[in-house]
Structure 1
Amino acid sequence: MRVIGLMSGTSYDAIDAAAADLRLDGDQLVLTPLGMLSQPYPAEVFGELAGLLPPASTTIEQVCRLDTGIGQAFAAVARQAVEQLCGGYADLIVSHGQTVYHWVDQGQVRGTLQLGQPAWIAEATGTTVVSDLRARDVAAGGQGAPLVSVVDVLWLRGRPGVPVALNLGGIANITVVDGDPVAFDTGPANALIDAVVTELTAGKLGFDADGVMAGRGQVHHELLERLLAEPYYAVEAPKSTGKELFNLSYLARRLEGLPEIPADDMVATVTALTALTVADAVRRHGGTEVIASGGGIRNPALMQMLAAELGDVPIRNTDELGLPSAAKEALAFAVLGFLTVHGLGGTVPSCTGARHSSVLGSLTPGLGGVPQVSRDVRPPASLLIEGAPH
């Protein structure tokens, strides 16, 4: 089955599309990457989205407008992916949409909202769409995140030691593949770094390209200690978080009473926060190797800080194991949609905290209806990336 996964993370810097051929071979799921592409949001949609996200207030009109605007933007990228990555035909499109709110109340997720009306994608491509994948896990008592954990577990199970999959997106999350696997958000990654850079450069820069600012700066230790005192870090997994907590208003409260901190030092400090909290989470769970993906791996300052904190624990990126790091999350959602149309659960309960594994998402039929697939299949026990080094 030829499947396209669509993803825009908490950094909302672009819409990623990744295509794969997926098939079940006994109890093994075989994934052949077909390529990826990435497109920024249209300027108008990006501006509306930036103005809506927490801690900003909004209106139902703005939510409706964005649901349409994001859906149309995803549809344009999907149409491009069908033509450029799949030779004009795909069996299924899986859309994560754009998370605009993740409602956490005393450690329990009460709801999660991803915008991007899938009907626009189905109409533009004629292809069936699986969307709204997080809500079912939340309804089953789970965190609704990190959903990529099922792919991490299938892929890394059987590696020696205790492998840890790390995603450095807007929020950092890990999957610890050992016994009953564990997965959770460790805290902020690019979310605070990008917000600080944007604020301190008056919007001239949107992120710390090549870690230049963090590399020039010095960590402000008093501010770092205040940030590390955040109670979230002490909460036991499974747990999840987002920009609802880690945003500029949050940072401003921690800065109260401190003298003015130079811009480069501010960026170095929030970069160190990510490195420290990720490394602490890896150590607490006995990780013996870290396999990283996400935009943060392109920040040399962050990766150097993380390597220094981890010491003897090696860091590799997913490309070394055959899974393109830039496409990993989009490919993971392609896998989730593939499992959905086969009637198979897409979550690991020990990772999300749900009462049971659930078949995820909602279906929006394409022009020919929902793809007809065999339901006489077993849940996969492993994932093979075809063409990956052994």
Structure 2
Amino acid sequence: MKIVGLMSGTSYDGVDVVAAEFTADGDTLRMRPLGHRGLDYDDALRESIGALLPPAATTIEAVCRLDNAVGEVFAAAAAIGVELAGGRADLVVSPGQTVFHWVEGGTTRGTLQLGAPARVAARVGVPVLADLRSADVAAGGQGAPLVPAFDALLLDAAGGPRAALNLGGVANLTVVAPGAPVLGYDVGPANALLDAAARRFLDRPCDLDGARAAAGRVHPRLLELLLAEPYYAAPPPKSTGKELFHGGYLDDRLAILGEPVAPDDVLATLTVLTAATVAAECARHGVTEVVAAGGGVRNPTLMFRLVELAEGRWRLRTTDELGVPAQAKEAYAFALLGWLSWHGLPGAIPSVTGARRAAVLGAWTPAGPPHGATPPTPPRRLVVEP
């Protein structure tokens, strides 16, 4: 099967596009990457997403407009994916843009992703799998993270505990170990607060290459205040996003601190916050290796801090060494989830999400006969039988 996978994360800067060919070989699934691309959101769309995200108030009209605007971008991305697949794909996995993750008292009550899957199906003419998180939420899970299903199949735990790390807007960790259930959860902010600080202090979308953070100095009191966040001490399963770690969150902490902090020092401190929270979890699980992916691996300052805090206890490398481009790993993971759902297999891992049962993920938007079936003759009339 040729599957197009799409992904837009908590950084909401654009859509990652991949195409992959999957072949089942007994209990081994072989994935052949066919290429990856990125399609950026324009400034107006990024502003519209940011204006709708918590803690901002919004209207149902704004949600409807954004749903269709994001759907048009996902549709264009899907068309690129079909090209990468050689002009033909069997399905597209279009998870949409998460705009709200409703967590109350440690329990996920709902989740909302925008992206008008009907627009995607209309553009490419193949079935589209969307709304991948809701089935797990309905089964009592967090609906996130979902990528551990990919990590658990990719990583070999025989050599000792290993971890897969994704450094997107949020840092996600998957831990595999011999004879133990797979663990996976959101550790805390990766780029979410860094990007918020860059927009606030530099008027830029990000601190490119972590250059300003490298020029700054860690502010001990600010770091201590940030590390006091209760989320870090909460046990998994747990998930988070920009409903917690947003620009207002950073503003509140700086206000509590009550003293000015130079922009470069804020960025340096936030970089160490991400590295420290990740390193603490890796140490807790005793991992021997961390395989990283996501936009954060392009930040040499963040990667340096991770190596520094590892203190030689674990080795850090990227998924590129395993044949999976680090910038596109999550999109490939969603392509895999599409393969699983197409075959009626669960994609969420209960030991990760906390669900009562393993759920088959997603809702299908058809674009013709399902699963390649031949359609019946179109009916011309309806007869009601007694």
Q: With the length of structure 1 as denominator, give the TM-score of the two structures.
A: 0.93
Q: Which segments of structure 1 move beyond 4 Å, counting only runs of 4 or more?
A: none
- Which residue number corresponds to residue 383 of structure 1? none
- Which residue number corresponds to residue 277 of structure 1? 277
Gaps of 5+ in 1: 374-390
- What is the distance in 2 between the residues matched to 1:284 and 1:40? 37
Per-residue displacement from partner, 1:2-34 (whole Å, max 9, x unpaired)?
A: 000010000011111110001211111111000
Percent identity reads 54
- Which residue number corresponds to residue 315 of structure 1? 316
Name which one, 1 or 2, has greater alpha-carbon Rg: 2
- What is the distance in 2 between the residues matched to 1:44 and 1:215? 30
Gaps of 5+ in 2: 374-386
Q: Which has the bigger relative contact order, CA under 8 A and spacing at least 6?
A: 1
Question: Over the residues paired in the alignment, what is the CA RMSD in angstroms?
Answer: 1.1
Q: Is the 2:221–2:257 contact (alpha carbons within 8 Å) kept by the matching residues of 1?
A: no
Per-residue displacement from partner, 1:275-329 (whole Å, max 9, x unpaired)?
A: 0000011111111110000000100111111111111111010001111111110
Per-residue displacement from partner, 1:147-193 (whole Å, max 9, x unpaired)?
A: 00011111113441111000000000100002111100000000000
- Which residue number corresponds to residue 214 of structure 2? 215
Matches within 5 A, 1:53-92: 53-83=53-83, 85-92=84-91
- What is the distance in 2 between the residues matched to 1:339 and 1:320? 25
- Which residue number corresponds to residue 191 of structure 1? 192
- What is the distance in 1 between the residues matched to 2:320 and 2:230? 34
- Which residue number corresponds to residue 112 of structure 2? 113
- Which residue number corresponds to residue 363 of structure 2? 362
Matching residue's letter, 1:107: G
- What is the distance in 1 between the residues matched to 2:151 and 2:158? 11
- Is the deviation greater in 117-126 or in 39-48? 39-48
CA shift for structure 1 position 99: 0.4
SS of equivalent to 2:94? strand
CA shift for structure 1 position 369: 2.1
- Which residue number corresponds to residue 138 of structure 2? 139
Q: Is the 1:42–1:73 contact (alpha carbons within 8 Å) kept by the matching residues of 2?
A: no
Q: Is the 2:2–2:19 contact (alpha carbons within 8 Å) kept by the matching residues of 1?
A: yes
CA shift for structure 1 position 257: 4.2
- Which residue number corresponds to residue 331 of structure 1? 332
- What is the distance in 2 between the residues matched to 1:9 and 1:156? 22
Per-residue displacement from partner, 1:31-87 (whole Å, max 9, x unpaired)?
A: 10000010111333222112111221111100000000001110011112212x012
Query: How many aligned residue pairs are there?
Result: 369
Matches within 5 A, 1:1-390: 1-83=1-83, 85-178=84-177, 179-201=180-202, 203=203, 205-255=204-254, 256-312=256-312, 313-366=314-367, 368-372=368-372
Q: Is the 2:71–2:115 contact (alpha carbons within 8 Å) kept by the matching residues of 1?
A: yes
SS of equivalent to 1:35? strand
- What is the distance in 1 between the residues matched to 2:303 and 2:105? 32
- What is the distance in 2 between the residues matched to 1:164 and 1:158? 9
- What is the distance in 1 between the residues matched to 2:286 and 2:183? 12
